[in-house]
Amino acid sequence: MTEQKISGDVIAQENEKRAAAQAADYAALGDRLARNGVDIDTITTKVAEFAVAVPSWGVGTGGTRFARFPGAGEPRHIFDKLDDCSVIHQLTRATPTVSLHIPWDKADAKELKAKGDALGLGFDAMNSNTFSDAPGQAHSYKFGSLSHVDAATRAQAVEHNLECIEIGRALGSKALTVWIGDGSNFPGQSHFTRQFERYLASLAEIYKALPDDWRLFTEHKMYEPAFYSTVVQDWGTNYLIANTLGEKAYCLVDLGHHAPNTNIEMIVARLIQFGKLGGFHFNDSKYGDDDLDAGSVEPYRLFLVFNELVDAERRNAGGFHPAHMIDQSHNVTDPIESLISSANEIRRAYAQALLVDRSALDLYQDSNDALMATETLKRAYRTDVEPILAEARLRTGGAIDPVATYRASGYRARVASERPAIAGGSGGIV
């Protein structure tokens, strides 16, 4: 019996208030889609099957390098974090797994597994951390980790990643995500080639320890914390890494890790074409790695990314099974509400992309009809798919309106009385 943090009665009462309107809206949208030969239930079933992992670090309030303003009832440790993650999944039915971060979430693996099982949650990709120093570690990562000039520091960073794999094995995880803060702050500070050679050698050692049924995801980021150069700065370098390491190595695309205006959907298409798209860290951004809620600033771009994913799904692109994860920092909202909303936005983009008339699009592309080609995408994007998203939640035991239901449940006030506020603390942006 799964432990439920929100009472089933609250969900039922809240759904009851909205059931008639939902049924009417779903029927109306179903009629409209049927006129175009689309069966709404087929779309709803696919949406209901679409899952995205939540990051354990996302349920704590984030911050910037200037300050962090803690919220009420913040999780004190990984077990509280898992409780909060289970609330998101209970209401959305879209987030059955949690991505852990070591050492922030370090705890006895058996206890973690038991807690996950009790809450009905699984464990997604493990995330290592060699971008900050853990208390008591022998060698500092101030000047890098896997690419550090000192062999002992590199060995320590490799060892940490091997430990993450071991913990992940005990939890049923099947992937390791490596993002490093290595780079340089000044021209001339680091030798680009030697630094990248050291990185590749370190990563090869980690790759060797990877279980056969695991995947290794490397994440590129153009800048920050190193401001002049980063070792894995873009998808080109990321592709070189995945290609050099072998078939279990894939590129992870974090939407916020690119320069503004970068055509990310095209990067996604290239990585799919060459069988190296590992998955995503979903978030949104305006200027840099803002880690804003998915779809909050550029929902059309999120749709265009999903347009590529649905296209690949339809034509059974080789090696295509991307991992979907959220990576966000919630600075001014209740993190649970932001993650609920983001999971919905990600599913929304997926549902809209499923509505693209692909045979029409093929014809317009092949006849150089630019206007109708782009209009075909817009037509799908303009469809209000909210009744489909709500129906997918309702049919799987979730909430028609998950944020309203969460607020009605009083969960935040309840945990606030049990969890004292933590001053400072780490927000965590990776």
Where along the sequence are the contacts to Mn ion (CB under 5 A)? 254, 281, 327, 430
The whole-angstrom separation of Cα 195 and Cα 146 is: 9
Whole-number minimum distance, CB 294 to Mn ion, in Å?
Answer: 12
Residue 327 or 391: the one with the smaller Cβ distance to Mn ion is: 327
Residue 215 or 281: the one with the smaller Cβ distance to Mn ion is: 281
What distance, in Å, lies between the first and last C-alpha atoms of the chain?
A: 34
Three-class secondary structure of residue 227 per DSSP? coil
Name the region of 66 (left: φ>0; alpha: ψ -120 to 50; beta: rest): alpha
Whole-number minimum distance, CB 332 to Mn ion, in Å?
Answer: 20
Residue 104 or 364: the one with the smaller Cβ distance to Mn ion is: 104
Note whether 277 and 250 are within 8 A (CB): yes
Residue 73 or 256: the one with the smaller Cβ distance to Mn ion is: 256
Whole-number minimum distance, CB 257 to Mn ion, in Å?
Answer: 7
Note whether 410 and 62 are within 8 A (CB): no
Whole-number minimum distance, CB 173 to Mn ion, in Å?
Answer: 17
Note whether 268 and 231 are within 8 A (CB): no
Question: Which residue matches tokens 């493990």?
Answer: 126
Closest CA to 147 of 184, 199, 185: 199
Q: In terms of DSSP H, where are the helices of 315-385?
A: 335-354, 358-366, 370-381
The whole-angstrom separation of Cα 224 and Cα 10 is: 43
Whole-number minimum distance, CB 378 to Mn ion, in Å?
Answer: 30
Residue 5 or 281: the one with the smaller Cβ distance to Mn ion is: 281
Whole-number minimum distance, CB 284 to Mn ion, in Å?
Answer: 13
Whole-number minimum distance, CB 256 to Mn ion, in Å?
Answer: 7
Closest CA to 277 of 285, 265, 261: 265
Residue 289 or 308: the one with the smaller Cβ distance to Mn ion is: 289
Q: Residue 337 has which token pair?
A: 């509400």
The whole-angstrom separation of Cα 152 and Cα 160 is: 12
Residue 116 or 279: the one with the smaller Cβ distance to Mn ion is: 279
Note whether 283 and 327 are within 8 A (CB): yes
